[in-house]
Structure formats: C-alpha cells, structure tokens
Amino acid sequence: MPLQKKKLKLSSGTKLTAVCFLFMLFPALLLFIGLLNNWQKSAIEERSSKMERSLYTVESSVEQASDLCNLSTQVFLNTRSLSDYLQKLSDKEEISSEETLRFYREDILSLEKILVGNPYLYTIRVYSSESGITEMIPILFSVDRLTNIPFDIKDLDEKSWCIDYPEKIFVNSSAEHIMSLITAIKGKDGEIIGILEVGVEMDKIMTDLFVSDTYYGTDSETAFLILDDGSRYGSFNSYEVNSEYIIENTNSKDPTIQVVDSTQGEYLVGCVHLDKLGGTYYMMDSLADINQAIFTRQILLVLILGIISLFGVYVINRVIKNILKQLYLIHDGVRSFSEGNFDAAISVCADDEIGVFASQVNDLLENIRVLVKSNMERELLVKNTEIKALQNQINAHFIYNVLETIKMMAEIDERYEIADAVTSLAKLLRYSMKWNRRTVALFEEIEYINNYIALMSLRYDHQIILSLDIPDELMSIEIPKISLQPVIENSVVHGHYYEEKDCLINLKVTQKGEDCYIEITDNGSGLNNEQILRLRRQISGCEETRSSSGNGIGLHNVQDRLHMMFGENYGISVSSKLGEGTTICIKVPRKYKGDEVS
C-alpha cells in the first residue's frame, strides 16, 4: 500500500511554524500587556503624587491662614481703645472731632499696620453696630456695609467662618473668593457692639498651580469644599459633582486618594479633612487623557506586534524549511519507492540527526530491495517445495504401511508382543509427525506417553508403571505438544539409571485458581543439592549441558516453549531428595486458546 495516497491539508513545516509563532506571540503579548499596565500605573501614581502634594499644600495653607486670622482677631479684640470706641458708638455718646482724630491716628493706623504687614491677609474690618458713623477706611465701617457680605449680625455666634463670597464694598477689587473669620465684639452688658471680619483670598491660600487651576474648574479637573454641615463651595465643571465622587477620608491628618469609576469616566479623587474650617477639601482629576494615551499606545503596540509577527513568521518558516529540507527529501524518496520505483535513493545533504536518518532509510530501502528479490526467488521454489511435501507425505504413508505389514506378519506367527510394539511405534510416529497445532489436549499427550512407556519397557528388565491422578474436567487442558515426554524420559532414564527396581511414575494434575499444576514424581535415586542447582540452571539456560544425553536439554526446551506460549509466569520447577526420588512440576494456564500453525 503506498505511503501517501491522501494529500496533506497542513504540512509539518506549517504546523511547526504555527507552534513556534504561538510560543513567540504568547510572551510578547504578556510583555506588551505588562508594559501597558506599568505605563498606566506609573501615570496614575505620578498624578496621585502630584495631587497628594497639592492636598498637603492646601492643608498647610488653610492651617496657616486660620492661625493668622485667629491671631489677628485676638489682637483686635485685645485692643481696649477699639472696644471703648465701639461702646461709645453703641451708647450713642457724643464723640468730639479731636477724640475721633486721636483714635484714628493712635489706634486705627496701628491696626492698619497689622493688615499691611501680613501679605496673606486680604482685609481686617470692624463693623460698628450703629449706622451713620464716621468710617475710618480700611478698618472701621458702619453696620450698613454688612448688606454687602453674606452673614447676618443677628445669627452670628462668637466666631464663625464665612467662606467663598466676593468683594462688594470696594467695587474696583478683583477679589471674588474671600474666606473670613467673623467674630462678634461684645460690650460691657454682653450686647454685640461690633463685628470683626478678618479675611484672606482663597486664591492665595491655594497657591499650588494645580489647585489654582482646579478650583475654578477646567475640562478635566476640578476641586470643591464640603463643610461638615453639608454646605458645598467651589466652581464645578459642566457636570454635576454628585455623591459618586465623594470618598471617605479615614485619616484626618493625611490625604486620601483613590480612583473612582463614575458614569462620566474614571477620575482620580483626593480629599483631606481641614479641621480648622470644619470641612473636607476634594480634588478631582479626569483620567481620560491617561486612558487616551494608553489606547494610543495600544494601537502603536498592536502595529509593532503585527510587524514583528509577520517578520517572525517569515524567519521561522525559512529556518524550519531549511531544517526540514532533508526530511522532505526522505519523504519524496520513500513515496517514489512505494509507488514502484525500486531504484529510488535519497540524497543525503545534512550531517545532523536527520542526515543520519536519511542514510538509515537508504539502508532500509536497500534491504527491502534485497528482500523483494529473495521473495521472487522463493516464489520460483514454491512448486519444488510442494512436490517435496507430497513426496514426504508419500514416504510417511509408506512407513505406516510397512509397519502395518510387519504387525500382520507378527500376529500370523502369534508374536503378539512384537505386534503390540509395532502398533505403539506406529502411533508414536503418527503423533510426532502430525503438527496441525502448537498445543494438544492433556489426554492426547497421555496417550502418547503410554505408547512411549510401552516401547521403553522393551529396553529394561524392570517394569515401568505410570499412575494417573487427574480429574476428568482437567483432561482437556491445553499443553504444548510432546512436553511431558521429556520429563517421563528423565524419570525413566536418569532416575533409575543404576537401579533395577520397578520404575513407578505418578502423574498428578491439580488446579489452583486460574492455573493448573502437573506434577510428575518418580521413585528413583533422587538428586543432591548440587545436582538440583545444576539441573535448575540447565533448565533456565544459565548453564549448557555437556552432551545430548544430559537430563537438562529436553527440560530446557520444554521450559522455552512454555515461556514463549504462556509467558514467563509459567514453566518448570524441580524438587528432589537424595534416595527418595524427584518431582518435576509444570505450571500451565487453565484456559488457553492457541493459534493454529501451518
């Protein structure tokens, strides 16, 4: 049958190329994914570090501004002359021009120096509870000015923060986001005689460039302040800053930063709790630019990977074809040989393992050519063989006919012993010359042994007695043909070689599980330990017998046949005692289906 009748759908080179490409592609994909993840992680970590510095800056600035406002407030409250002047205004006492001028020069100007000397302070204003007073700008104002700032004197506690309101007293001012500490100034009877406003610009508190940009809001980032009472301050983007952006600051001293996946995309949200203001400051930074950069890099990496893959496939395919070139030559040569070209030979073009294999295939093809030639010569001898077989058959029939004639002549002369001997010999020859199967039934082998013992009895003066102990159901077990006769021969020839007493041979068959044991015991002289060991080595083939008359040759042949037919678990075992006889046990399977041989 030709080696190749069906065209291969996929060649070995293509398969190897695909496998090598996959092994190359898998780590490359892992590398690219790792690079993208590292880039994204590094970008977010860098953005987080920047936001963390900004939050620390805001926290520090708010803390400094709060301390400055509290200190300035304390200085103003401790100015006795200011309280006395406000008390007089509240009591509607008449104040002369000289007293007013002296208060301005001695007190207001000194208080104004506090404002001028602190660049972080935007304003320090004192509002009298009375209207229509003489205002001393930029420190003392009438209560009527309070309508321009978002707090009510009636609802004012002793101190409170007023956050994120614009400048309205001086219309030319650009301050739109003011944060002030508002303090009530109380008189001798506990009534409010004035309001003290110490304010700072929120833009100057948030000096960090990032925070400065985000407070007013851009397309990608924003910031806002949420007080503990729920009030919100800040310039938000076009989208609404709802609860999904609010994270919990678990540590009031350190900023908290995390990535929030909202309905509008991913955001980096950071917050820090401002104890001085009683609120939490939030910063938001959109990660859309980072994601867009990652997407761009993904496209770039995919293009690079595609180019590398195409180049890699080309290189791998060329290398594999070069490696498999010799294999393709072997394939073509064997296919040509299988199609009938017996002169086909394989060119050896490599000195590696495949080249050695090509040389071996050439040797194999040469051997096949020799075998084909030999088979053709054998076919020429078939007829001669058939003729010889016919002649052998004729010769066998001739021998049987001659023995039958001798038997009839002995019976005519009433020589019945000779007639029986000739009958036994004819049966012996017929049994040994007929080989239709490798195995026979046990009862057939026993019949052959009986004829053998009948002939052996003619040679000896003593009698040979065969005792059988075989259950009827074991008479049909299969054993190798002529496997018991060498054992019987050893018992007769070697067991009683120096003895003249009758030879008693006991043949017993037992079954244990799926195996049967055929024990052949004689009453001969037995063997000593050295003889037993030598016999066992001869049976196993470890020691050769010196002559054909040795008692180990026949047993060794039987052992080999048992091993070849049934396996190494079956065979012959020997036991003997000097002066008591010898027992040879043959182990065979209970059921065996032998193949017929020609």
Per-residue pLDDT band for 213 (boundaries 50, 70, 90) equals: very low
Q: Residue 422: pLDDT above 50?
A: yes
457 SS3 class: coil
At 556-589, the pLDDT tens digits run 888 888 888 888 889 999 998 888 889 999 999 9
The predicted structure's pLDDT at residue 252: 62
Single out the residue of 549, 546, 545 nearest to residue 497, CA to CA.
549
* Rounded-to-integer distance, Cα 117 and Cα 114, Å: 5
Q: Compute the chain's Rg from CA coordinates.
A: 60
Supply 473's token pair: 């159901």
Q: Which of 404-418, 426-440, 510-524, 530-544 has the highest mean pLDDT?
A: 510-524
Q: Residue 3 above 50 pLDDT?
A: no
pLDDT interval class at 258 (50, 70, 90) = confident
Q: Decide the pairing of beta strands 503-512 and 464-469.
A: parallel
Q: Which residues pair with 575 in a beta bridge?
A: 583
Give the C-alpha separation, 487 to 418, whole Å: 26
Q: What angle do CA 487, 491, 497 make, to 5 degrees?
A: 140
CA dihedral (466, 470, 476, 479) in degrees, to 10, reads -60
Name the residue among 286, 490, 335, 494 with its Cα closest to residue 7. Answer: 335
Q: Which helix (H) or strand (E) holds 582?
A: strand 581-589
Closest CA to 337 of 329, 328, 345: 345
What is the tens place of the pLDDT at every residue in 509-522? Answer: 999 999 999 999 98
**Which amino acid is it at 246?**
I
- Least trusted range by pLDDT, from 142-146, 214-218, 335-339, 446-450: 214-218
How confident is the model over 460-465, as a mean pLDDT?
A: 77
Task: Compute how many other C-beta atoms are within 10 angstroms of the C-beta atom of residue 103.
Answer: 20
**Residue 224 β-bridge partners:** 282
The band of 5, judged by pLDDT with boundaries at 50, 70 and 90, is very low
Greater confidence (305 vs 87) lies with 87
Q: How many CA atoms lie within 13 A of 37 on its CB side?
A: 6
| Residue 384 scores a pLDDT above 80 | no
Q: Which amino acid is at 264?
A: Q
* Token pair belonging to 214: 């985000």
Q: What is the pLDDT of residues 108-122, one digit of tens each?
A: 898 888 888 888 888
For residue 331, pLDDT beyond 80: no
State yes or no: pLDDT of 209 exceeds 70.
no
* Residue 215 scores a pLDDT above 50: no
pLDDT mean across residues, the chain: 78
Q: What is the pLDDT of residue 572?
A: 93
Report the C-alpha gap between 390 and 406 in whole angstroms: 25
Is the distance from CB of 194 to CB of 128 less than 8 angstroms? yes
- pLDDT confidence of residue 583: 92
| pLDDT tens-digit map of 137-167 | 888 998 888 776 666 666 666 788 888 888 8
pLDDT digits over 11-53, tens only? Answer: 767 777 777 777 777 887 888 888 888 888 888 889 889 888 8
- Tokens 């000779």 identify what position? 418
Residue 595: predicted pLDDT = 46
DSSP E strands in 275-400: the ranges are 279-286
This prediction has a pTM of 0.50
Query: What residues have CB less than 8 Å from 551, skipping those under 6 apart?
Result: 490, 493, 494, 535, 538, 545
Confidence label for 399 from pLDDT (cuts 50, 70 and 90): low
**pLDDT value at position 517?**
95
Query: CA-CA distance, 475 to 516, in Å (whole number)?
Result: 11
Q: Looking at residue 465, what DSSP letter applies? A: E
Per-residue model confidence (pLDDT) at position 179: 87
Would the pLDDT of 401 be above 90? no
> pLDDT of 241-255, one tens digit each?
566 667 777 656 788
The label of the residue with tokens 């001085």 reads: 276
DSSP, res 153: S
Percentage of residues of the chain with pLDDT beyond 70: 80
Burial readout 558-576 (b: 16 or more C-beta within 10 A, e: otherwise) = bbebbbebbeeebbbebeb
Distance of CA 493 to the CA centre of its chain: 71
CA-closest candidate to residue 566, choices 516, 513, 520: 516
Which of 61-70, 330-339, 472-481 bottoms out in mean pLDDT, i.e. has the lowest? 330-339
> Has residue 332 got a pLDDT over 90?
no
User: What's the pLDDT tens digit per position in 73-86?
Assistant: 999 988 899 999 99
Nearest of 301, 360, 303 to residue 333 by alpha carbon: 360
Report whether 182 contacts 194 (CB < 8 A): no
Q: What is the pLDDT of residue 237?
A: 45
Please check the confidence at residue 450 and state whether its pLDDT lies above 80. Answer: yes
Question: Average pLDDT of 194-211?
Answer: 72
Q: What angle do CA 95, 100, 101 make, to 5 degrees?
A: 150
- The Cβ of residue 531 has, within 10 Å, a number of other Cβ atoms equal to 15
127 sits in which H/E element: strand 121-128
Give the Å distances, CA to CA, from 44 to 249, 258, 282, 288. Answer: 19, 10, 17, 11
